[in-house]
Amino acid sequence: METMTASASSSSCAVADRPDGRLDSRLDAPSPTTLEAAPATAPDVPPEALLVFDLPPRAARIRLLREADNRALEWQGGADLRAFYDEQWRLHRAGDICVLIADLNDFPIGQAAIHWRGKPTHPHLPDLQSLRVFPAFQGMGIGSRLIEATEQSVAARGFSQVSLAVGVENPRARVLYERLGFYAIGQPYDDEWQYTDAQGRQCRVVERVVDLVKTL
């Protein structure tokens, strides 16, 4: 059985295994002859780690968007983007876009949307949009896997190229895309999109972006 240890204050609470398999907490106080005054600590400062343990391995998978994902995806944007996710589902069902989900334990921890009709700057190329990964899972290669899955889907439809736009103020993302084989085309421009927030207000978002393309 796994042994777990807890942090100590002026006395130590040792957490050990009992013969019956349950945890046994014992107060391990020093003897009177060796007792020393412990330094005062602020009671509102928690220890760095109360418990460290391993989680069972889990495999993430890439699948298609389901209607049940709409509310779960609100970890990005909250209720203000609810109309956006509802519209995304409608377009996905209509076949205008294809939304791929990175799934862990039936929870959507990432997404990427393929817009088959591209965008005004290149309507002949499928365009990858709304690529995002839940913050706690960023830096684990999930975004790269989503991009890989979208490229496979685009190639399966007979396209030889795929595009995406990246913000000029997001150099980290651009480095990732270029490492995956994307290259810039054209000059930076203002990209605009709109959504209706939770209060019913029309919100307009403008971002300076540059288009990238990859040959499959």
What pLDDT is recorded for position 9? Answer: 37
CA dihedral for 105, 110, 112, 113, sign (positive or negative):
positive
Same domain membership, residue 82 and residue 15: no
The 10s digit of each residue's pLDDT in 29-75 is: 333 333 344 454 555 656 778 888 888 888 999 999 999 999 999 99
pTM, two decimals, is 0.76
- Under DSSP, is residue 148 helix (H, G, I), strand (E, B) or coil? helix
CA dihedral for 76, 96, 94, 199, sign (positive or negative):
positive
Same domain membership, residue 45 and residue 144: no
The CA distance from 131 to 100, in Å, is 10
Q: Which of 108, 121, 105, 117 is nearest to 157 (CA)?
A: 117
What pLDDT is recorded for position 22? Answer: 34
Same domain membership, residue 126 and residue 111: yes
Same domain membership, residue 88 and residue 48: no
Same domain membership, residue 42 and residue 129: no
What pLDDT is recorded for position 190? Answer: 96
Same domain membership, residue 189 and residue 92: yes
As for how many domains the chain has, the answer is 2
What pLDDT is recorded for position 48? Answer: 79
What pLDDT is recorded for position 43? Answer: 54
Helices (H), the chain: 69-72, 82-94, 142-156, 171-179
Same domain membership, residue 189 and residue 87: yes
Residue 35 phi, psi dihedral angles, 5° rounding: -65, 130
Same domain membership, residue 69 and residue 49: no
CATH at residue 92: 3.40.630.30
Residue 51 phi, psi dihedral angles, 5° rounding: -155, 135
Residues of the chain with pLDDT under 70: 1-46
Same domain membership, residue 83 and residue 178: yes
Q: Which domain holds residue 27?
A: 1-54
Same domain membership, residue 200 and residue 108: yes
What pLDDT is recorded for position 58? Answer: 87
